[in-house]
Amino acid sequence: MSFPTKLYIDPPSGWKYGFPKPAPDNFREMSQTQLNQWFIENGFPETELNRFKYGMPFRVIEGDYE
């Protein structure tokens, strides 16, 4: 039996702000602006986000953190 895998987003130093957090279902289709807004809405400081000129790098983790 196969179970659906959950995806989580983990930005740099994300542990300080409660990450990794479940990825939105449509995160692959989100623009950089939409991703930035999602990070801010989920507790990542805008000042930290603005340090990255071309968009913040993040990793996607498969698993179950909940």
Phi/psi of residue 63, nearest 5 degrees: 160, -160
Enumerate residues 6+ apart whose C-beta is below 8 A from 66: 6, 22
What pLDDT is recorded for position 64? 73
What pLDDT is recorded for position 57? 92
What pLDDT is recorded for position 41? 97
Phi/psi of residue 21, nearest 5 degrees: -125, 155
7-58 pLDDT tens trace: 999 999 999 999 999 999 999 999 999 999 999 999 999 999 988 888 889 9
Domain boundaries, given as residue ranges, for the chain? 1-7+24-61
Asked whether residue 1 carries a pLDDT value surpassing 80, the answer given is no
CA-CA distance, 40 to 6, in Å (whole number)?
A: 21
What pLDDT is recorded for position 52? 87
Counting other chains too, the contacts that 35-43 makes at CB distance below 8 Å and 24 or more residues apart are 39/11, 42/17, 42/18, 43/17, 43/18, 43/19
